[in-house]
Homo-oligomer: A and B are copies of this chain.
């Protein structure tokens, strides 16, 4: 009885807190409601709204569905049966993009805040928090003399890392244009994917390092001394060679701050879109350093005038020949068949060059386009293939 009384007091306290700090928003409705058949119901209380629509990552690009008004105030939309997955969505209320007030789970992707939900089953079970041992996630600052600044990165260390004395292999995992050191952990579900693959014995325990590929930034917007600046794609120095040239600063930090194998056999590098471009050139300009290379929807050859005149991009064929001579265990390329034609063609052109030089590579072409759904999948497929002979 005392417990019940205490709960009632706390409930009263909660209601008061709402007045005092507006921190409690009681959802009179449930949204999203995920049904067992794979349909999902969205609800919004908007008695005064004239038009409400929903956009979601299960829809085709730029499309939306009008929500239906039920009674005086409730707007509802029920999806068709969706595949299991980790989905984003947002509402548009009388012309203004908005989040679902009944769902506190949001994610930032570049400058957009969207709600998220997870529809369990199949591959999506890799993206949920399961009852397996959990690794740690840390945000660290490293010194980058090459960029004359301290910079922030994210590091996943596998379960058991802290309590052991052994050395671990390292996967360097790079984001796309507009992303930052938080992108792979947020949209990419890296901590969950790694925990689940390692827990199931499908991947070797490894350190995953997620740097910020925008050398003009110290850190993700809001996390560096530039303050709460609005995120943008339009940063300088994103693909001009400077990130690749200063990548050694990151490796120096990682290898002197973590128990790493410190060998080529113990290093992998992979990246999505711009990060795929970075990956290809870092693997060439740090010769004999990486044994496993992953290009996910890589933004190769996007400039018809040719690459910028950084030494990083010069002598491509000779560097590839050297890479072949030094050897590598895996050169893994994946892209969606609906990706941007310029990227799709760039990837095929790169594959032709590899073929011409007799460089073995694994190629995966999936449905879909330039999406996080594909990048989560690619990570889930790539990681079990690396460090397998250690």
Contact = CB atoms under 8 A, between A and B. Distances in A.
Contact of A239 (B10, B14, B116): B10
A216 to B, nearest CB: 12
A27 B118 CA distance: 29
Contacts of A97: 25, 101
Interface string A321-351: 0000000000000000000101000000000
A19 B62 contact: yes
A305 interface: yes
Interface string A125-152: 0001111011011111100000000101
Contacts of A162: 140, 257
A57 interface: yes
A372 B26 CA distance: 20
Contact of A240 (B6, B17, B27, B116): B6
Given A13-B299, A112-B24, A136-B138, A230 B102 contact: yes
A6 B7 CA distance: 61
A203 to B, nearest CB: 18
A111 interface: yes
A237 B8 CA distance: 13
A354 interface: no
A238 interface: yes
A94 B370 contact: no
Contacts of A130: 225
Contact of A6 (B10, B48, B114, B308): B308
A231 B96 CA distance: 25
A111 B24 contact: yes
A219 to B, nearest CB: 8
A105 B14 contact: no
A226 to B, nearest CB: 8
Contacts of A45: 95-96
Contacts of A384: none
Interface string A1-45: 011011101110110111111111111000000000000000011
A24 B178 contact: yes
A97 B14 CA distance: 19
A221 B103 CA distance: 11
Given A10-B239, A96-B93, A308-B6, A224 B129 contact: yes
A17 to B, nearest CB: 6
B118 A228 contact: yes
Contacts of A238: 10
A371 to B, nearest CB: 6
Contacts of A9: 302-304
Contacts of A136: 138-141
A309 interface: yes
A227 interface: yes
Q: 8 smallest A-B Cβ distances: which pairs?
A: A138-B138, A48-B95, A98-B98, A14-B233, A134-B141, A48-B94, A23-B109, A104-B111
A27 B229 CA distance: 12
A240 B10 contact: no
A46 B111 contact: no
A135 to B, nearest CB: 8
Contacts of A370: 17, 20-21
24 contacts: A10-B234, A19-B62, A20-B340, A20-B371, A21-B371, A21-B372, A23-B110, A27-B111, A44-B96, A45-B95, A45-B96, A48-B95, A49-B94, A50-B50, A93-B93, A97-B101, A102-B230, A104-B112, A104-B113, A104-B221, A104-B222, A104-B231, A106-B113, A128-B227
A212 interface: no
B50 A221 contact: no
